[in-house]
Amino acid sequence: MALVGFDAHRLLDARARGVRFDNVLTVGRLDLCLHPSEVEALDGRLTDNGRPQVFEGYTFGAPADRFLLRGLGVSTLTVLDHSAYEGATLVHDLNTPLPAACHARYDAVIEAGTLEHVFNFPVAVASLMQAVKPGGTLFLTTPANNLCGHGFYQFSPEVMFRIFSAENGYRVQHVTMLPCMYPAVELAPIGTTYDVTDPAVVHRRVGLRSARPAMLAVQATRVADVVPFATPPLQSDYVAKWEGQAATRGGLRGLAARLPLWLRARAIGLYHRWEYSYWNRRAYSPRR
């Protein structure tokens, strides 16, 4: 459970845009994994904003507490974990719902590598959603691609857009794909990242076929105090089919239908390789 450079920058970006971090819940005792160039960039940002020396004596993988308290300005930091072995102040198994006393309590909830390890994922994510105050923000960073076996699950953009919907009391600020160099994603800085378009907007599935691992970062604002998943989310392309709103298949699809089967399969397969790639600008927009 660690914050990497992207996480640190987006938390500071959110703070600059007015997101509150007075009372914060982190899922696990978070480490801070920054490379020298990232430390330099973040130190410059904090110094310019009157918060110098946050990284004095910093070593790779050190606890993120000082960055959160001194750099981000967190007043009260609560650490949730399954066990108290890393100093958690709220011991709870996320396979079961958080108690009502934790609902609508925190300005921000930060999760960075726990949800994929919790078997009862819908209960776990619903608990984190309910822990946020209306008007507060939930930050997630979780595996998306080529990390099979790291935890129980890898997650798609589709599930994030369907979870953080108005029906569940949330509004998505961004869903971003983070290409990583290594399976241990913290071992190299993350370069270009890609904001993902909601599949319901492009009327297509938004998938990814990638050579390297990828993480998925989500920021969502709680806009209403409702119980999540009162109606279970449904995959958007199936909803469109059921409602007769599915995109028609013409153009290249129509031409491919007239090809011999072996050639048609190859043409469609090559198209899907492009469609499920970062080159597909309908689905993926470079962020930085």
Res 211: pLDDT: 92
What number of other Cβ atoms are within 10 A of residue 191's Cβ? 11
Q: Is the residue at 251 inside a domain?
A: no
DSSP string, 60-113: TTEESHHIIIIIS--SEEEEEESSSTT--SEE--TTSPPPGGGTT-EEEEEESS
Mark out the alpha helices in 132-260 (DSSP H runs).
Answer: 157-163, 199-202, 236-242, 252-256
Looking at the structure of the chain, the number of domains it has is 1
* 89 within some domain: yes
Per-residue confidence (pLDDT) for residue 248, from 0 to 100: 57
**Can you give the pTM of this predicted structure?**
0.93
Residue 244, helix vs strand vs coil = coil
Q: What pLDDT, on a 0 to 100 scale, did the predictor assign at position 228? A: 96
pLDDT score at 135: 97
Query: What pLDDT is stored for residue 288 in this prediction?
Result: 64
Reported residue count of the chain is 288
pLDDT score of 39: 95
Domain CATH for 178: 3.40.50.150
Predicted local distance difference test score (pLDDT) of residue 249: 56
Residue 128: partners with Cβ closer than 8 Å, 6 or more residues away: 27, 94, 109, 111, 115, 138
Q: In the prediction, which pLDDT does 253 show?
A: 62
Mean pLDDT by 10 residues, the chain (288 residues): 94 96 96 96 90 91 95 96 91 96 97 96 98 98 96 97 97 97 96 96 94 97 96 93 70 70 85 94 91
Q: Output the pLDDT for position 49.
A: 83
Domain assignment of residue 82, yes or no = yes
Residue 249 placed within a domain: no
| Residue 265 forms part of a structural domain | no
Q: At what angle do helices 5-16 and 36-48 cross, to 10 degrees?
A: 10
Are 204 and 274 in contact by the 8 Å Cβ rule? The answer is: no
Q: Residue 118 falls within a domain, yes or no?
A: yes
pLDDT, residue 264, reads 82
Give the domain range for residue 191: 2-243+273-286
User: What is the structure's pLDDT at 73?
Assistant: 94
> In this structure, which amino acid lies at residue 67?
F
The answer to the question of residue 57 being in a domain is yes
Residue 267 belongs to some domain of the structure: no
Using an 8 Å Cβ cutoff, are 49 and 136 in contact? no
- Please report the beta strands in 197-259, taking only residues with DSSP state E, as ranges in sequence order: 214-222
